[in-house]
Amino acid sequence: MIAMLLATLCAAVSAFAQGGADSAAGESDSSTATIALQTGKTGIESIDTLTVNEWDIPTEHNSLALTMIFSLLPGGGQYYTGHYVRGGFITGIEGLLIYEVYFNKEFQKDRVYEQAKPFQDSVAIMTRKIMTNTERDSLPYYQEKRNSYANRVRELSDKKMEQEDLRTAENAWLFGLHLYSMFDAFGIWYNNHHRSVELRSMKKALLLGIIPGFGQMYNGEFGKAGLVYMSIIGATTSMRTSQHMVNYYLKRKHTMADEAPGSEEYEKIVERVTYYRKNRNQYIWGMSLIYLYSLADAAVDALLSDFDNPMHFALLPNLGPTSGGVQALLNWNF
């Protein structure tokens, strides 16, 4: 290939030199033929036909309508466009989340209700005995038993609240993952029709990146935009559910502070408040990092947008006018 390119270069230089000699021999006017090159092409077949290993492989299924319709199913858009491995991962993860959110969590909720029912009945029985008992000596015993059963009911109620908030967060991540799969499917179609190796403006990418995901879409990276939106939706919902649990346990803490501030149950509630506050803060930091990452990613993708441009790897003749003599120029872009 190098020999062929050098031969092409030498032939062009020789032609240019011959043209200069003819001009010096007596021709008053001379012109140089201009060859129009297609955008992103070198005009050298051996370079322009090199295999390009793209994340979004070429596909014969190029219908946008069918791509988006199939993308309504988990991994469907990827299967339709021939990206079976990516579609398999999406289908598997979405399937696990669907099972966890709509089946396992429902089973856990019913189980908590079943576990709480005997203790609720026991609380009602002890309450009736306290209300109807005429022997004052037995009242402390009934009161202690009632409080013990009531504590078990509260523990199971706390467990149910935590499960429901976790279910809400998992449902948000499930929705975000499906949104990513739809963005990714659209990105496959877009890159098959509008792939470009021209250099993009880093400044424009950063300005658009102020709105999350817009910098990625400017660079044609719709799958990355979907990842950004999935992360924001999941992290925002998880932060909100963690704050909800903080508020829930703070109410319990204030109630226990009046009833039994030094009890073991009070210490457990304080521990749960601290735990969910840490979770909330972690998601806040996570969202900040996701936003900063999206800005940096948009800038880097814009800088490297012409990395695969074949013009970087071509040895081409420079047929423009020179200041004198014959010149051979070699540009190496890295």
Amino acid at 217: M
Q: What Cα–Cα distance (Å) separates residue 149 from each residue in 125, 159, 161, 281?
A: 10, 16, 19, 35
The dihedral region occupied by 199, where left means phi > 0, alpha psi between -120 and 50, and beta the remainder, is: beta
| 149/77 same-domain check | yes
Instruction: Give the global pTM.
Output: 0.74
In angstroms, the CA 69 to CA 64 distance is: 9
- The helix (H) or strand (E) run that includes residue 14 is helix 2-25
> Does the structure show a pLDDT above 90 at 279?
yes
In angstroms, the CA 314 to CA 225 distance is: 33
| 128/80 same-domain check | yes
User: Distance between alpha carbon 51 and the CA centroid of its chain, in Å?
Assistant: 28
pLDDT tens across 56-91, in order? 566 777 889 999 999 999 999 999 998 999 999 999
Among 162, 195, 228, the domain boundary falls at: 195
Mean pLDDT of the chain: 81
110 is a domain residue:
yes
Q: Is the dihedral of CA 119, 122, 127, 130 positive or negative?
A: negative
Domain that holds residue 300: 199-306
299 is a domain residue:
yes
Comparing 175-179, 183-187, 254-258, 276-280, the range with the smallest average pLDDT is: 254-258
In angstroms, the CA 236 to CA 5 distance is: 56
Among 178, 195, 212, the domain boundary falls at: 195
In 3D, which of 222, 255, 177 has the Cα closest to residue 56? 222
pLDDT tens across 148-176, in order? 898 899 899 999 999 999 999 999 999 99
15-46 burial by CB neighbour count: b if 16+ within 10 A, else e?
A: ebeebeeeeeeeeeeeeeeeeeeeeeebebee
| 70/191 same-domain check | yes
- Residue carrying structure tokens 């457990």: 268
| 209/261 same-domain check | yes
In 3D, which of 223, 222, 215, 229 has the Cα closest to residue 301? 215
Domain count within the chain: 2
- The torsion angles phi and psi of 218, rounded to 5 degrees, stand at -60, -35
> 83 with 188: CB under 8 angstroms?
yes
In angstroms, the CA 219 to CA 225 distance is: 10
| 146/250 same-domain check | no
In angstroms, the CA 105 to CA 187 distance is: 34
| 221/239 same-domain check | yes
48 is a domain residue:
no
Classify residue 312 by its DSSP letter: G
| 277/296 same-domain check | yes
| 126/214 same-domain check | no
292 is a domain residue:
yes
Which residues, 6+ apart, have CB-to-CB distance to 257 below 8 Å? Answer: 266
> 80 with 66: CB under 8 angstroms?
yes
- Percent of the chain past pLDDT 90, that is, above it, reads 51
Comparing 198-202, 280-284, 288-292, 296-300, the range with the smallest average pLDDT is: 198-202
Among 195, 217, 248, the domain boundary falls at: 195
Top mean pLDDT of 26-40, 120-134, 172-186, 194-208 is at: 172-186
> 186 with 222: CB under 8 angstroms?
yes
In 3D, which of 294, 252, 299 has the Cα closest to residue 271? 252
301 is a domain residue:
yes
Comparing 34-48, 114-128, 181-195, 199-213, the range with the smallest average pLDDT is: 34-48
| 206/160 same-domain check | no
Amino acid at 3: A
97 is a domain residue:
yes
pLDDT tens across 117-150, in order? 999 999 999 888 888 876 777 888 888 888 889 8
